[in-house]
Chain A
């Protein structure tokens, strides 16, 4: 039964009641046109069994863990195991990161996420950039020793670690070497390579633009193959919808692009001879959760269905683990404001709720001062507490998919599904995500959406409280103290540490490691990531590894579509 078929309802009195409601509604609300959500879907004032009904239950929903898994990828969802508390952390020098990590663990975090300094993202060692920019928004990690300090006193074999670590994944290479040093079996290293989605970086011009597109493509496949062979608890791929959405894509577009990217990566893996039933289960996703509450819930519910179809129909996957759409969510920083920053506490709570109702596997809640600078410790604590309050005080996780069956949410989920599929079809037509990104198509679409949204804010069609309405004259003193960058002495100490490392290492071994890396990149069938791990173990630094690979695999130049 299609959505457009008039649904045969046999509810006595329905039509009469509806007519009366319509009259009263029009009398009070007039006939202004229905608003549209961010993805452009029209939103009616009321949804009824005419829009969706329980006879569609098995087709559309089914039970958690079954079929399209609209209601959730596991039978027990958050009742069985609550989502991973994974807060981002990244600060200054490794010792500072270690201290912040220990504090987070104490306040309930069950997993770690490491954000490196922008200099690391760009592929440089600390001594290659202006010291003014070091350690201001992330940890400066250039060597295996630095990684060891970051995780000092943390049982890495029992902890889930997400590394924000783009190609060629040096941070993971360092972590692997730390594990080997400590005698921790690699099979117990669990976590995710969080910034492995090079296509989204290319589109959104993120900080870490290191290797040219073709080189990044090769290194990712090698990385996934390595993880399959040696890191059974590690997810080498996180396909990132967050970048697109933060860059301005609508929620439907962001999801469509992300799924198209996942299709592209899966095709590349399959072309390299890997088995979809083995690699698909290691694909994870990462999404922005905006404050468009219902739209976000519908977005991810629809995505679960679509992913099931993609994995089965396009890749013939028969392993149920391959069908599961696992995602980490971060509340969207783009919705937060500098004006009246305490308002952001409310925004983050609403965003987090949307993520929870959407059935996420892992959640990061932004701190309310995120827009002012790097979050302070106090604000970060409140962000974690928010999750606990929603879970334990509001009991939001007692029921799986509590909004399931809502006439509105089911209608919206189906509508979002159609929008997302349309985006995927458009990318298919363009030859797949790699080709679409290479040609600038995706960049144009994202840019157009960004402009369109900004237009709505400018005209006031979209209110941003405190910004274009409900403004309050503020003085600077009312804004919380931003986090200051690390004092120059600590940066200088870190630079000295780097110099010491270089002086004390076996330079011959490091050089040989880098040469072997270059040879692997030149070859057709050697695993580049394995060579990265070896080079790191031999004492090569992050900047040296990236620099060497750039020589063979090319420097990535962003494709800007103004």
Chain B
């Protein structure tokens, strides 16, 4: 790790803590930029964390996530709480650019100073969540927001990511998306705190609702996971969802500090993955190819090969 190019002036952190939205926006950009610039900032924010509740919303495309999040934001605002939304959209794997369109559906909150929406591009992180987006939760926490909503395109893996990073996890589904079994894949049911059937007035909603209820009995969490129904476009069922979340929040066993640490562990896991990818990907040492050949020829088991790699890294 190198020296920080320049320390972030304390005044940015101070302004952020005082509720200056411009400072917050700048801080988010710095967080996206890279860790050397951010160190001093995060240090300054550290003592002011632990108030915000982080909610994760995932689900397949077409389930109406953004519309539902917008309705949830409205409900939270009615209860007097301030809300930040971290909306993650996928970057193009070819160009690296992105159309950040999630907030398109949240236009009803324009002009409301109690709502701050920030769009993040996934920047190649297959899971959809980036370290920057995760750190942004802290920035919003320090800035005084009561609730931080993390919204990403769900497709298995990213649902898992969000699970570790959010305090409460809402997994969305909707009828007619072609795959009723989707929610049951990749252990989604194990990590969801609340399951929501959106487009609850459409054909197939009843069946989906029943399926999910039945399926959760098979999951590790057991049959107690609430399965709710909403119609995000009209707001139906949204108040009940927020009530449910509030109830669950009160029953949370981990302290805010412990929850933050869990987030940090996820970051560590990512960093490790990136490291491993570098090790075995392009620019790999010739030894790696020899190991791979050995695995193919059944001369060595993959587990043993991995251990050998690790041993070389940290003798």
Asked if chains A and B come from one complex, the reply is yes
A-to-B contact residues, CB < 8 Å: 557, 560, 562
Pair B101/A560 contact, Cβ less than 8 Å: yes
Name the CB-closest residue of B to A439: B62
Number of A-B contacts (CB under 8 A): 6
CA distance A557 to B233 in the complex (A): 11
Q: Per-position contact with A for B85-101: 1 when CB-CB < 8 Å, else 0?
A: 00000000000000101
Pair A557/B107 contact, Cβ less than 8 Å: yes
Give 6 pairs: A residue, B residue, CB < 8 Å, sorted on A.
Answer: A557-B107, A560-B101, A560-B104, A562-B99, A562-B101, A562-B104
With a cutoff of 8 Å between Cβ atoms, the chain A residues found around residue B101 in the complex are 560, 562
B-to-A contact residues, CB < 8 Å: 99, 101, 104, 107
Residue from the set B99, B101, B104, B107 with the largest chain A CB neighbour count within 10 Å: B104
With a cutoff of 8 Å between Cβ atoms, the chain A residues found around residue B107 in the complex are 557
With a cutoff of 8 Å between Cβ atoms, the chain B residues found around residue A560 in the complex are 101, 104
CA distance A557 to B104 in the complex (A): 10
Query: Least Cβ distance of A558 to chain B in Å?
Result: 9
Name the CB-closest residue of B to A561: B101
Give the 6 A-B residue pairs with the shortest CB-CB distance, closest first. A562-B101, A562-B99, A560-B104, A560-B101, A562-B104, A557-B107
Query: Least Cβ distance of A461 to chain B in Å?
Result: 21
Name the CB-closest residue of A to B108: A557
Query: Least Cβ distance of A439 to chain B in Å?
Result: 8
With a cutoff of 8 Å between Cβ atoms, the chain A residues found around residue B104 in the complex are 560, 562
CA distance A562 to B103 in the complex (A): 12
CA distance A557 to B101 in the complex (A): 15
CA distance A381 to B104 in the complex (A): 43
Name the CB-closest residue of A to B101: A562
Query: Least Cβ distance of A255 to chain B in Å?
Result: 28
With a cutoff of 8 Å between Cβ atoms, the chain B residues found around residue A557 in the complex are 107
CA distance A552 to B101 in the complex (A): 29
Query: Least Cβ distance of B210 to chain A in Å?
Result: 23
CA distance A57 to B241 in the complex (A): 66
Query: Least Cβ distance of A447 to chain B in Å?
Result: 11
Name the CB-closest residue of A to B99: A562
With a cutoff of 8 Å between Cβ atoms, the chain B residues found around residue A562 in the complex are 99, 101, 104
Name the CB-closest residue of A to B100: A562
Query: Least Cβ distance of B68 to chain A in Å?
Result: 15
CA distance A136 to B101 in the complex (A): 31
CA distance A562 to B107 in the complex (A): 15
Query: Least Cβ distance of B104 to chain A in Å?
Result: 5
CA distance A560 to B99 in the complex (A): 12
Query: Least Cβ distance of A399 to chain B in Å?
Result: 51
CA distance A562 to B101 in the complex (A): 7
Name the CB-closest residue of A to B176: A439
CA distance A96 to B123 in the complex (A): 55
CA distance A562 to B99 in the complex (A): 7
CA distance A560 to B107 in the complex (A): 12
Query: Least Cβ distance of B106 to chain A in Å?
Result: 11
Query: Least Cβ distance of A285 to chain B in Å?
Result: 31
CA distance A86 to B99 in the complex (A): 41
Query: Least Cβ distance of A555 to chain B in Å?
Result: 10
Query: Least Cβ distance of B18 to chain A in Å?
Result: 34
